[in-house]
Structure 1
Amino acid sequence: MAAETHAAHAVDLAPVVILLGSAVLAVPLFKKIGFGSVLGYLAAGLVIGPFGFRVFTEPSAILHVAELGVVMFLFIVGLEMQPSRLWSMRKEIFGLGLAQVGICILLLSWVGVALGYPAQTSLIAGTGFVLTSTAIVMQMLQERGDLAKPRGQKMVSILLFEDLAIVPLLALVAFLAPGGGEVTISERLIGVAIGLGCILGLVLAGRYLLNPIFRVLAAARAREVMTAASLLLVLGAAWWMQLGGLSTAMGAFLAGVLLSESSYRHELEADIEPFRGVLLGLLFLAVGMSLDLNVVVANWQVIAISVVAFTLLKAAGVYGVARLFRAGHREAIERTVLMTQGGEFAFVLYAAALAVGLIDPEGSAMLTAIIIVSMLMTPLFVLIHDRLMPEVEVDASGVETPHDARGTALLIGFGRFGQVVSQPLLARGYTITLIDNDPDMIRAAADFGFKVWYGDGARLDILHA
């Protein structure tokens, strides 16, 4: 009797074990054969989902949780974007990003019209495909080592603009809905004011509250509390922006930017990184599970034509804008290959359109299938691109390296001994990165003009960060 009672209240671990096991098996296998980790996650999700072994029958529940991976990823990206650096990228974000989104919307909106669908439905369908998958592109850039390179930063700028664009696009869905035009201008202005107020509140909190709070937490020397505070910061910023009707990912990114020059930046990045990786993998698994094979089979001709048309037209738009902004042919081709798929924000846009009656349930399922198929194709496109256009190796024969080249020193601990060691390094012209886990020492060093980062030098993840 007791055993039965215990079994009734025990947590069913089988789905969790299968979920993790499928990823552990599929991802290394797909990377081994050159398909990349993203396609491995998607394939594993398809196998264990409703149209495979039916271990999971409601992937939407997993998808809602896993979308936090994108939120945490953008927080980490924000940590790398100091305000001065972000300001220097304003032309790429609002120039390159606006040009690509605008031109691609104009091109893709005609696909639905050509297939006989109403203009409003066609506009929403095409616009959803324009929004590139932040998760896939970021993962690909990170795996290829291009995230910090100029070509990678341009793609990040476009993704950031697309994240900002989801707000007016959702407003467009509400306006196009039956009766949506009846919303008054004053109501729209109130919505805009609420959104701007949320942004201002987050900026003020980041500027005046976060550093003192983390200083108190660091003094407690409880690592688990710092980890909990890091999660609270990311999720709290996302929730706050959601209250204002804005993107959760935008809130996380803004929080990261506000802390990009904080002494606690590396500690925060190291604490969030494991959660980011697991949740992004879970997101790809859920996307693979969400592919409704019944809809694909019943409407395979329309879906096939739409995927091909959307992909080709978006590729033309991405390549054309890249060349217009003076990117080389190789860079434009690489950007085209990485950014021709639809993304996870399309699911948000289509769900909103379904809720207000702009598209019906079958149409929503077809559009979702089109986006998922395009996401599945991206790793294959990248594989073909890398085979046909391998990275050009620079011939360094006969080139002499500089005689006075110097590296950067990493100094862990800035107590009395660390201060003594730093003096001859500085005198010889070395630039030093300083790490210490004593908040009082960090503040004291700042008074003398030293920038010391907070972090535990014994942690490998801190050193990587």
Structure 2
Amino acid sequence: MTAYFIQAFIYLAAAVIAVPLAKRFGLGSVLGYLIAGVFIGPIAGLVGSETNTLQHFAEFGVVMMLFLVGLELEPRMLWDMRKKLIGLGGLQVGVTILVVMGIAIAFGFSWSVALTVGMIFSLSSTAIVLQTFNEKNLTKTEGGKNAFSVLLFQDIAVIPMLAFIPLLALPELVEKARSVVSTASEHHEELSLVAGLPGWAYGIVVLLAIASVVIGGHYLSRPLFRFVASSSLREIFTAAALMLVIGIAALMSLVGLSPALGTFLAGVVLANSEFRHELESVIEPFKGLLLGLFFITVGAGINFTVLIDNFGPVLAMTFGVIVIKALVLFLLAMIFKIQNSDRWLFALSLAQAGEFGFVLLSYSVQNHAIAVDTVQILSLVVALSMFLTPGLFILFDKVILPRYEQNKNTRDPDVIDEKGTVIIAGIGRFGQIVNRLLRTNGFKTVVIDHETQQVENMRKINTKSFYGDATKPDLLHTAGIADAKMLVIAIDNPDRAVALTEYIKHTYPHVIVLARAFDRTTLYRLRKAGADFMVSETFHSALKLGKHALTRLGVHPFKAEQQSALFFETELAQKNTLYEAWQRFTEDDKHLVHYRDMFIQLEETLSRAMKDERYRSFSKMERSWTPPPKQSDCVFSQSEKE
């Protein structure tokens, strides 16, 4: 028992140290886990033969991951994916198998071994790719969506591959592999409901298993989870969720299907369930730990002795697999019109071999399709390609993506053929609201944005906007800044917003500058630059939400309105004091403590004001509204609107 505790501590300690360091250096958690495995395995020798056994256990993390992926997909969404799932995924698997098979035959392998190797290398790592997509927020990109379609098809394709490999058995390998099979059977005796069944009976059993998952998931899971939820014991709900996933995985294994495919199907069935979010929160921690353990075992399982003895061939095969798969994927991306950086993301993210490659390699040895010494080398190729995958993502992030970010803005600015009273720089979610309000009140605006896609999206909804960088003086001149009354700055870069404010107030001092601030510091910087009015983009919405929070917590709506108005007035009264303190802080770092003290004092003032009975009377904000006088400077004439 003590040995298990020590081994568990070693694995956890390696993960706790390596993963945060890898994340800090921008390498991603997956590479952190792999490095941890290499250190505790081949380098330090802290773990040994138990790694292979743990790897089989940790593969259940992939099963859980696909269950969670299925929960995010409604059946209609899956149906909408059918063209990419079958077309893109089917071509990737088929073309990769043929190319790898052809190269293997050219190097002297028999056609059956070459076909088996082709099937092994046609698969990619679902665990690494989806985990990295989630960490880097790439799941919703076009490249991420297409990559997921291919991964899903690959997981489905494992089933016919497992069925086909026994047909590729080589008679001369039967005796040589018998000892390996007998040793493996001592440690891992497979149970099966379909062993020895004729083909038609096997098909019926498989269909019944799939039907039981679909029908049971739809009709039986909800009553089960309602019953469990009525106990109000979270640990029982956790047990029920794990029971469901493990039960489905066991059923799929008993009928010879992929457990990952079965749990994915169950997740899709439960995607519309009211218990979906609770299931996600319960399964997520187990999935994360098991996937981390799986990646560690991949690193720890690298056999350095075999690697050193065959370093040249292994390295050549590893890079060969990555290059071949990347080229096939890039070609398919062009055929299916995946554009720009998404094309590279699609090609590079799937260029490695996958965890199911280990499954097929083991299965090939058991069924005498590949020699044991060949399998050892191929296992190293699979592991090293997975180990290099985070490097491919780094290549995409650091080299490829920046080039496309630069190139997408190399389009010449639009010719601005309109003039307006107000120029709006930036037409994101903030600028859109300002623009709509002004235009619906009869004021003519000129909208400029440096994002090509954003400009096109606005034109689709009949909001005319122009592509260009509003911080460029010549573009502003073309837009009519000299004759404009107002400039609204709603761009998403604080430094550019401040620089634009300084330029306008220096060159066109008559132009009123209204600017969006991201935070208090940006607000102060804009004020210092000369902006006539600044607003923090989240202040008023947060204040409104806070007021509703008070009412939902039982505070009377009148009092909630009063407290909200009081908060606003207190902030307004203190803004000059804080601004002056901020200026001193930016000019001399020694005033930092003073600025912090001023901010803390504001919080104390707010607290006292909220409790002081003198503030229970009507606030200025609650008095009846009166319109501004007709001759007010802040009102444009009708002619100025045009």
TM over 0.5: yes
Residues 306 and 376 in structure 2, CA contact (< 8 A), matched pair in contact too? yes
Q: Distance in 1 between matches of 2:147 and 2:93?
A: 12
Runs of 4+ in 1 over 6 A off after TM superposition: 393-397
Q: Distance in 2 between matches of 1:345 and 1:205?
A: 28
Q: Distance in 2 between matches of 1:342 and 1:261?
A: 33
How far 1:119 sits from its partner (Å)? 1.6
1:103 maps to a residue whose letter is V
Q: From the superposition, tell whether residues 295 and 84 of structure 1 become closer, same or farther in structure 2 (CA, over 3 Å).
A: same
The CA deviation string for residues 193-225 of structure 1, in whole angstroms up to 9 with x for no partner, is 322221111111011100011111111111100
Secondary structure of the structure 1 residue equivalent to 2:425: coil
How far 1:346 sits from its partner (Å)? 0.6
With structure 1 as the length reference, what TM-score do the two structures score?
A: 0.81
Q: Distance in 2 between matches of 1:325 and 1:110?
A: 25
Q: Distance in 1 between matches of 2:63 and 2:249?
A: 7
Match among 36, 39, 42 for residue 44 of structure 1: 36
**2:283 — aligned with what?**
272
**1:358 — aligned with what?**
369
The CA deviation string for residues 61-91 of structure 1, in whole angstroms up to 9 with x for no partner, is 1101110110111010000001111111111
The CA deviation string for residues 124-171 of structure 1, in whole angstroms up to 9 with x for no partner, is 112211100000100110111011333322211111100000011111
Match among 297, 311, 316 for residue 305 of structure 1: 316
Secondary structure of the structure 2 residue equivalent to 1:259: helix
Match among 336, 343, 346 for residue 347 of structure 2: 336
Q: Distance in 1 between matches of 2:113 and 2:44?
A: 31
Residues 113 and 168 in structure 2, CA contact (< 8 A), matched pair in contact too? no
Q: Distance in 1 between matches of 2:214 and 2:274?
A: 17
Match among 406, 421, 426 for residue 399 of structure 1: 426
How far 1:11 sits from its partner (Å)? 6.4
Match among 366, 378, 390 for residue 367 of structure 1: 378
How far 1:308 sits from its partner (Å)? 2.3
**2:607 — aligned with what?**
none
Moved more, 186-195 or 360-369: 186-195
Q: Distance in 1 between matches of 2:387 and 2:375?
A: 18
Moved more, 36-45 or 395-404: 395-404
How far 1:10 sits from its partner (Å)? 5.1
1:118 maps to a residue whose letter is S
**1:439 — aligned with what?**
none
Q: Distance in 2 between matches of 1:149 and 1:283?
A: 26
How far 1:115 sits from its partner (Å)? 2.1
Residues 63 and 283 in structure 1, CA contact (< 8 A), matched pair in contact too? yes
**2:199 — aligned with what?**
188
Q: Distance in 2 between matches of 1:186 and 1:325?
A: 41
Q: Distance in 2 between matches of 1:284 and 1:12?
A: 19
**2:633 — aligned with what?**
none
Moved more, 198-207 or 381-390: 381-390
Which aligned pairs between 1:238-277 and structure 2 lie closer than 5 A? 238-277=249-288
How far 1:12 sits from its partner (Å)? 4.5
Q: Distance in 2 between matches of 1:141 and 1:10?
A: 38
1:325 maps to a residue whose letter is F
**1:459 — aligned with what?**
none
- Structure 2 gaps, min length 5: 172-195, 414-423, 438-540, 546-551, 554-642
Count of matched residue pairs: 401
**2:77 — aligned with what?**
85
How far 1:52 sits from its partner (Å)? 3.2
Secondary structure of the structure 2 residue equivalent to 1:14: helix
- Structure 1 gaps, min length 5: 1-8, 180-184, 411-416, 419-465
Alpha-carbon RMSD: 2.7
Q: Distance in 2 between matches of 1:301 and 1:164?
A: 34
Moved more, 304-313 or 352-361: 304-313
Secondary structure of the structure 2 residue equivalent to 1:319: helix
Are 2:236 and 1:225 aligned?
Answer: yes
Structure label with greater radius of gyration: 2
Q: Percent same amino acid among aligned pairs?
A: 37
Are 2:175 and 1:145 aligned?
Answer: no
Secondary structure of the structure 1 residue equivalent to 2:146: helix
2:352 maps to a residue whose letter is Q
Match among 16, 22, 27 for residue 19 of structure 2: 27
Q: Distance in 1 between matches of 2:255 and 2:139?
A: 30
Q: Distance in 1 between matches of 2:93 and 2:160?
A: 13
Q: Distance in 2 between matches of 1:277 and 1:120?
A: 37
